[in-house]
Amino acid sequence: MRVRSYSFDRYVELVRDFHGYAAPGVLVGGYMVDLAYRHLHKAGLYNALCETRKCLPDAIQLLTACTTGNGWLTIHDTGRFAVTFYEKRSRQGIRVSIDTSKLDFWPEIKTWFLKLKPKAQQEEGRLRAEISAAGSSICVTRYVKVADRFIIAKDHGPVVVCPCCNETYPSSVHGLCPDCRGESGFVRLPESELESNRKTTDQTYQMASRNLNRR
């Protein structure tokens, strides 16, 4: 079964290059995207609303023009493994998710999707074979209209320079930039720590490559 214009094996290679490894979620996600696009008008312009941060966004970014970078892919993380492709103006489109009632036919997919066993005990080869054979038959589609609150303006408007750190941020946020207001997601470390970190990383790589050469 093909994944958009690719054979399944070719798609597995693409996933490996892009995602780092052939994760089942990106493979299943490929069939979900494929199914959605079989329902959508070829000439349409679609945005994507993905309900999980895990794996599925990479299938969307590999197979469509929707990326987080260009703003056509929005992630609203409800933890559900589902994606909606919707027409920009009408906001109407197709939502694709996994139909758990169909998973009894595919024991490895069921084990993986419902997390019935720890990852180490799952059969990777059999799981991949099932994903390839099942294709989009385990998916379910719904016609939906995306709610207003998910339509995010691409342009954040004018920017100002923060008087504290000299970086720019949207002028709609008043006062200091979010970082200088204490809403940062990181803490600043002294430069000396960066150097010692680099040395530790170098040593780790050297040890790993020595061990590899010994084999």
Which residues form the interface with Zn ion (CB under 5 A)?
162, 164-165, 177, 180
Residue 155: CB minimum distance to Zn ion, A: 21
Residue 25: CB minimum distance to Zn ion, A: 37
| CB of 19 closer than 8 Å to CB of 26 | yes
Alpha carbons within 13 angstroms on the beta-carbon side of residue 71 total 7
Residue 194: CB minimum distance to Zn ion, A: 21
Burial class (CB in 10 A: 0-12, 13-18, 19+), 53: exposed
Residue 187: CB minimum distance to Zn ion, A: 15
- Given the complex with Zn ion, which of 109 and 177 has the nearer CB atom? 177
- Given the complex with Zn ion, which of 54 and 181 has the nearer CB atom? 181
- CA 210, distance to chain mean position in Å, is 35
- Given the complex with Zn ion, which of 129 and 164 has the nearer CB atom? 164
- Given the complex with Zn ion, which of 73 and 162 has the nearer CB atom? 162
Residue found by looking up tokens 């720590």 in the block: 193
CA distance 55 to 24: 8
H-helix or E-strand spanning residue 22: none
